[in-house]
Structure 1
């Protein structure tokens, strides 16, 4: 999948819908606003809506994406919203942030497009960058129906489900505490019906 080309052509509305994701808003409504100086990382930040919301809530935010075009769009939106965000080009398997520097990491649909054989690198990066007690709010697809597999073939988006078994293997209990894996739907402007997905909160011990 050429993510930069998707943004250049405007083919990103399946996951971009003009505001912060409802799951992230709900999370902060329950958990409360961050302590002063807290740092957040938006992994696969795309057009920046979640990163902007995190900055509005008081986090010092870094947004990372592989697509320079997405980051350009995100920076424009952040400027319009009146917030300061550090946007960096980078890969979730090699995050351009310091060790033990992040209080909260946000991932809406990045992990599930990482090839299965590379997912351990993502988990190692989460372990590296989170402070002890830091959280990862992770969302991604929960099942691969024939319709989804056909859609993937047409769009060249390589999704793979998030399951309890996969999470427990990559985020072992000696390193992380895993909350319940719950069903949700990930919506977008061109996907109002939503993508069947899972949400889970993972905390570094």
Structure 2
């Protein structure tokens, strides 16, 4: 009889907790992707296709990426980046996990996407305000709550003048105390999702919808535009 498969969410939380206990809050990404590449774990958010809300946004907005650049934050195995590239954007996609980047390159061997290893909390300086479109899906919520403000600031700093930012994240009520959230993920309150906005990066659309796989889980989809 085969061994029962452990819930991927439980596995990812255990790996994350081990990294947090070692005061390495981002190290669990590489450990998870590395284990997944060896068949010892499953990445719970690796859908084998672009995120449904990103697909909906693309269908509704019909953006033209011709002559424009895009940055996909925390690209994982690359499905979201491939959709953005298909829209015509010169697309850069990064992840802190080298194993995730290697998996993206294996999954998409003929890709036009520039897959790179980089740290959201310390991105290359040449990325600052350099991209016409920045796409952030689930990366900020995968970080402990105390790291989220710094990550949010860095996400916004990559948006060029006149550029757009799209954020998709799990939602939680504003009145739920931080200490009651056992991550990962650490879903974002309305206050947190609104904090991506700055004096020149404006929130232009915010919607909340149920997850297509679990209607009890709500997701934010937020769009921002830089002056």
Q: What TM bracket, shorter-length normalisation? A: 0.7 to 0.9
> TM-score of the superposition, structure 2-length normalised?
0.73
* Offset from partner CA, 1:100-139 (integer Å, 9 cap, x none): 2101111111111223332332233234321112111111
Following superposition, the deviation at residue 76 of structure 1 comes to 1.2
The separation in 2 between residues aligned to 1:85 and 1:42, in whole angstroms, is: 10
Matches within 5 A, 1:21-40: 21-40=51-70
> TM-score of the superposition, structure 1-length normalised?
0.80
Structure (1 or 2) with the larger CA radius of gyration: 2
* Offset from partner CA, 1:44-69 (integer Å, 9 cap, x none): 10010011111122111111111111
1:183 aligns with 2:222: no
Q: Which runs of 5+ in 2 are unaligned?
A: 1-15, 17-27
1:202 aligns with 2:227: no
Assess, with a 3 A threshold, how the Cα gap between structure 1 residues 182 and 33 changes in structure 2: closer, same or farther.
Answer: closer
- Structure 1 or 2: larger strand share? 1
The separation in 1 between residues aligned to 2:144 and 2:77, in whole angstroms, is: 22
Assess, with a 3 A threshold, how the Cα gap between structure 1 residues 42 and 176 changes in structure 2: closer, same or farther.
Answer: same
1:162 aligns with 2:188: yes
How many residues in Structure 1 have an aligned counterpart in Structure 2? Answer: 191
Q: Which runs of 5+ in 1 are unaligned?
A: none
SS in 1 for 2:108: helix
The separation in 2 between residues aligned to 1:55 and 1:169, in whole angstroms, is: 27
The answer to which structure, 1 or 2, has the higher relative contact order (CA under 8 A, 6+ apart) is 1
RMSD: 2.5
